[in-house]
Amino acid sequence: MDLKHGSMDNNVVVREFNREKDWEVVEKLERNCEVGSRKDYSILTNTLGDPLCRVRLHPLHVMLVAELVGDGEVVGVVRGCMKCVGTGLETGQVWMSYILGLRVSPKHRRMGIGLKLMKSVEAWAERNGARYVFLATEENNAASINLFVLKCDYIKLSSLAILFQPLEACSKKNPSGDVRIEKLTVEKAISLYKDRLGGEKFFPADIDVILKEDLSLGTWVSYFKEEHWDGLHCKENDKEFLSKTPSSWAILSMWKTYEVYKLQVKGAPSVRCINTTLTHIRSKILGCLRAPSSCELLAGPFGFLFLYGLHGEGERMGDLMKFLWCFALSLAKDVTDCKAIVTEVSNCDPLCGHLSWGSSISRINDVWFLKKLGGGAGNDSINWTAASQLSRVFVDPRDF
């Protein structure tokens, strides 16, 4: 079809992804979007046979495609899902939709297709009861930021820091003999998270589902051996351990992202040749790579372990979190093709400063945007703009 620059509103239909019909063409579209401007390398995502992999774990999710009227060519795609999350305010929880994986074929950009996909996925969210929509993009993605802010009226919430550490690039550190690291039962982890982080922004109401998922590797706590954590192993008096924490302690959970999808850098990229036109998740990861040696280490298809639910209390929580981080590295090293550990925390989170400690830990800013559906922000009881500094935020591992 011969396309001219301008609105394609009547020439494009947005419909739901059809597995039989669209599978190959969506994979091709993703590949076209991610090639960037260089010919000597390309970056591929291996979804391990599941283009819905990043939304599938939410009970309600959708994938929409934009199809040209006439020849039926699929030229755009977007995914959405629904979740019930904390507001960080006394108003409790709200239904929120998360939008991700928006792509338009390079040949068909600036014709209104991205906007049409956004409107369609927002309408899906609203029909399914979402009060808000949120999404994230890297801070230098001007096209998507303009689309979200200028055309779709999203407000910028805050930047979060994505921290990335290739496994081989770090020296092997074993947790100190002074520190105890223990795996929590799922029930204990649920209780502890609900008790300590239940009121945080974006805290998922279905934390129990997340922690019971097959992709969840588990939850660990660390504290100094000189102290005790009464009731941590006690099956009865289940909630007692919540009030008997040591003076300092830390907690995190691990998610087997390496089983969901893998990344592959083809060719011989160096940091300088990694192009900002790469798609969201890939540029999140690859944009983090500072040392060319990291690129060599990540030459084959690789997966990563995602750390989430990071929290600490007490004066020495920073040191205790470092021990958990090193512990996660040691676990990840035993997994075939797992080449990195990754986490995302709010820049204003007190833990953030403690986490940028290793020279091989790279950091990139991820910007979150939010929109109230149905218009009329005036009567909204939740003032998200006032809450625009995301001092603490619970990053859902299913969304990464």
- Enumerate binding residues for ligand COA (CB under 6 A): 33, 102-104, 109-115, 137, 141-144, 146-147, 150-151, 279-280
Task: Find the radius of gyration of the CA atoms of the chain.
Answer: 22
Closest separation between CB of residue 1 and ligand COA, Å? 16
124: its two tokens = 């899906």
**CA–CA distance, 111 with 6 (Å, rounded to integer):** 5
Residue number with CB closer to ligand COA (142 or 268):
142
Residue number with CB closer to ligand COA (110 or 212):
110
Closest separation between CB of residue 289 and ligand COA, Å? 19
307: its two tokens = 């750390």
Going by their DSSP bridges, the two strands 132-138 and 93-104 should be labelled as: parallel
Closest separation between CB of residue 108 and ligand COA, Å? 7
C-alpha neighbours within 13 Å on the C-beta side of residue 159: 13
Sequence letter at residue 282 = R
**Residue number of the CB atom closest to ligand COA:** 114
Residue number with CB closer to ligand COA (141 or 257):
141
Closest separation between CB of residue 277 and ligand COA, Å? 7
Closest separation between CB of residue 114 and ligand COA, Å? 3
Residue number with CB closer to ligand COA (33 or 317):
33
Closest separation between CB of residue 55 and ligand COA, Å? 13
* Sign (positive or negative) of CA dihedral 210, 211, 213, 219: positive
Residue number with CB closer to ligand COA (83 or 280):
280
**CA–CA distance, 215 with 370 (Å, rounded to integer):** 28
Residue number with CB closer to ligand COA (155 or 352):
155
Residue number with CB closer to ligand COA (279 or 362):
279
Q: Ramachandran region of residue 242, left (φ > 0), alpha (ψ -120 to 50) or beta?
A: alpha
Closest separation between CB of residue 374 and ligand COA, Å? 22
Closest separation between CB of residue 112 and ligand COA, Å? 5
Closest separation between CB of residue 263 and ligand COA, Å? 16
Measured CA angle at 100 (ends 95, 105), to 5 deg: 145
Residue number with CB closer to ligand COA (147 or 161):
147
Closest separation between CB of residue 68 and ligand COA, Å? 13
Residue number with CB closer to ligand COA (82 or 192):
82
Q: Which of 41, 61, 59 is nearest to 51 (CA)?
A: 61
Going by their DSSP bridges, the two strands 249-255 and 338-346 should be labelled as: unpaired
Residue number with CB closer to ligand COA (7 or 176):
7
